[in-house]
Structure 1
Amino acid sequence: MQHEFLQVDATTRLAVRRYEPEGPPRASIVIGGAMGVRQSFYEPFARWLAAQQGLRVWTFDYRGSGDSRPGASTLRGFEADLFDWVRDYEAVIDAAKAALPAQPLYLLGHSLGAQLPGFLERPGQVDGMVSIAAGSGYWRENAPRVRRSILYFWFVLVPLATRLWGYFPGRRLRKIGDLPRGVILQWRRWCLNPRYGVGAEGEGAARSFSRVRFPVLALSMTDDELMTLAGTRSLVSFYDQAPRAIERIAPADLQVPRIGHFGFFREQFSASLWPSTVDKLHRLAAITAAEPPRVPHTTA
């Protein structure tokens, strides 16, 4: 693993980790992380992809988070929104493609990491995306446990805490993690709109998602404590010009008690979910554009 810094613009450097296989890479994978999740969370999976599957893997922390957080202890006054995070994502994609231009480049998006690619300016560089536990964040499509408290979160806690601290102090509140003011307030607008970011940002956002033509495969966990199948269907529908499909995965398929929103990345799945997902990555091109999103009963 190599720790690097990627210069996005004159004032922004991203903390990036690159995992190299022993031999020539078969393809590149950029892992787009979930909201408030540090890139170190994905390290076991990234190491496995490089060592066992011969893939060059890139992970990163969005500006203002993880190792890309500014040196000051507070995010007060730090300016960033979700479109800045899209630019961060695309900067890593650009670097990955430039480093290995002749091989396929795939995205593996966890939650938010499967939402932001709809806003890419250059989606033609990407050969396919596997979405893990991702969907629209519209509050009515949240899982029941989340939905019970989400209106308090969006209408009381977020506005009040962000106003008081100048950013969202998620670590202090034990909610998500620390987030720049612009990120949390824009995300709030998205989550309160029935069409999520596409609805909140208007026709330009819809056109952006429609520019995506790479195949999208969404893996939806039946026991996801945050995301519902309805939310996953909504997100997949935004990629309306892309070949796309949904596959449901249940813990019983793997004879385990739990997968949930974060469990995919646990090493316990290195002999089951992980290899099957790599197989699906390489088969993404076989998903035809004529097919509507489909939901098989289960898949391993």
Structure 2
Amino acid sequence: MEKVELRAGDGTRIAARFYRPGPQCPVPRAAVLIGPAMGVRQDYYAPFARWLAEQGWLVASFDYRGMGDSRPPGMARSLRGFEADLFDWAADYDCAIDALRAAAPQLPLYLLGHSLGAQLPGLLRNRDRVAGLVSVAAGSGYWRDNAPRTRRMVLYFWHVAVPLATRLCGYFPGRRLRKVGDLPRGVILQWRRWCLHPGYHVGAEGRQVRQAFEQARFPVVALSMSDDELMTERGTRALVDCYANAPRRIERITPQEAHARRIGHFGFFREQFEATLWRRASELFLSFPAFNQEMS
């Protein structure tokens, strides 16, 4: 694993990691970029990224600005005054794609998006460089599409906890509240607006964002967990359908299929799923048209 420092278009430092195949695979199969969920550090995906690299993929991960290793050194205790929104995070995604493309310009590039990581690719300026998206536990964040367990508390979260804590602290202090994690003010307030709109991002932001998603042509396969405590199958369908002109489908997964008692919203990346869910993701990349064209 190699830690690299990238620079977004506005000069912001973005921390990324590259996982390269070993000597047994001198030529990578293709490139895979892992797009993280809201509030989740790239560390969380390291076991999965290492495993993918062992299977012959060139893999990269990154932290959005303000998060994980991309958090400014002087803001370890507080994000007060740090300016970023979800459009900035999409720009960070683009920055990571640029770096991965530079490392492997001839290889197809796939995205593995976890939750938010599958919600942002329609906003990318690099949409045409993406050969396929595997979405994991992702869907519309509209509150009515949340799973029942989450829906019981989410209105309090959006109407009381988020506005009050963000106003008092100048950012969302999620670590202290044990909710999501610390988030920049612009990110949490924009996300709140998305989650309170029936159309989520394409509804809250209007025609320009809707058209951006409609311009995406890369295939989308969404892996939806039957025991996801945050996301419903209906919510997954709502997100997938934002990619209106892309080939798309949902694959519903139960814990029984993965020989486990539970998967949930975050479980896919646990090492116990190496032989089941991880292998399934690798096989999906192999099934995308760009990979087969490259091999022919």
Report TM bin, short chain.
over 0.9
Matched to 2:58, the amino acid is R
Who is 2:20 aligned against?
Answer: 20
| Identical-residue share of aligned pairs (%) | 64
Partners of 1:86 and 1:71 in 2: CA distance: 22
Equivalent pair of 1:82/1:186 in contact (CA under 8 Å): yes
Alpha-carbon separation, structure 2, partners of 1:56 and 1:111: 22
Q: CA deviation at 1:71?
A: 1.3
Gaps of 5+ in 2: 291-296
- Tell me the distance in 2 between the aligned counterparts of 1:163 and 1:11: 28
Question: 1:216-231 counterparts in 2 under 5 A?
Answer: 216-231=220-235
Q: Which residue in the other structure is 2:73 paired with?
A: 71
d(CA) in 1 for partners of 2:124, 2:258: 34
TM-score (norm 1): 0.94
**8 Å CA contact 1:216, 1:236 repeated in 2:** yes
TM superposition score normalised by structure 2: 0.95
Name 2:251's counterpart in structure 1: 247
- Contact 2:9 2:95 (C-alpha < 8 Å) held by counterparts: no
Partner of residue 40, structure 2: 37
Partners in 1 of 2:126 and 2:10 — Cα distance?
21
1:213 and 2:217 correspond: yes
1:252 shift after superposition: 1.1
Q: Distance in 1 between matches of 2:193 and 2:16?
A: 29
* Pick aligned residue for 1:279 from 257, 265, 283: 283
Write out aligned runs for 1:1-300 (5 A): 1-22=1-22, 23-51=26-54, 53-72=55-74, 73-285=77-289
Q: How many residues align?
A: 285
- Matched-pair contact (CA < 8 Å) for 2:9–2:91: no
Distance 2:71 2:9 in 1: 15
1:115 & 1:255 partners in 2: Cα distance? 28
SS of 1:107 mapped into structure 2: strand
Q: Name structure 1 gaps, 5 residues minimum.
A: 287-300
How far residue 256 of structure 1 moved from its aligned partner, in angstroms, is 1.2
Q: Distance in 1 between matches of 2:258 and 2:81?
A: 46
* Partner SS, residue 59 of structure 2: strand
Q: CA separation in 2, counterparts of 1:194 and 1:121?
A: 25
Q: Distance in 2 between matches of 1:123 and 1:150?
A: 32
Counterpart amino acid of residue 44 in structure 2: F
What's the CA shift for 1:10? 4.6
CA distance in structure 2 between the aligned counterparts of 1:49 and 1:258, rounded to whole angstroms: 22
Q: What amino acid is aligned across from residue 31 of structure 2 in structure 1?
A: S
SS of 1:254's equivalent? coil
Distance in 2 (alpha carbons) for counterparts of 1:276 and 1:160: 42
Please, which moves more after superposition, 117-126 or 176-185?
117-126
**Higher mean C-alpha displacement, 241-250 vs 1-10:** 1-10
Opposite residue 68 of structure 2, the aligned amino acid is G
Q: Is the 8 A contact 1:111 1:131 kept in 2?
A: yes
Structure 1 residue runs of 4 or more that deviate by more than 3 Å after TM superposition:
none
Asked if the contact 1:216/1:284 (under 8 Å) is kept, the reply is no
Aligned-partner Cα distance in 2 for 1:228–1:138 = 11
Give the superposed CA RMSD. 0.9
Instruction: Check whether the contact 1:190–1:197 (CA below 8 A) recurs between aligned residues.
Output: yes
What is the SS of the residue equivalent to 2:8? strand
Q: Which residue of 2 aligns with 1:294?
A: none
Q: Which SS does the other structure have where 1:106 is aligned? A: strand
Q: Distance in 2 between matches of 1:205 and 1:164?
A: 31
**Letter aligned with residue 9 of structure 1:** G
The one-character-per-residue Cα deviations of 1:83-121 (angstroms, maximum 9, x if unpaired) are: 000000011011111221111100000000000001011
Asked whether the 8 Å contact 2:118–2:135 carries over to 1, the reply is yes
Name the SS for the 1:136 alignment partner.
Answer: coil
Post-superposition CA distance 1:260-281 (Å, at most 9, x none): 1111100001111111211111
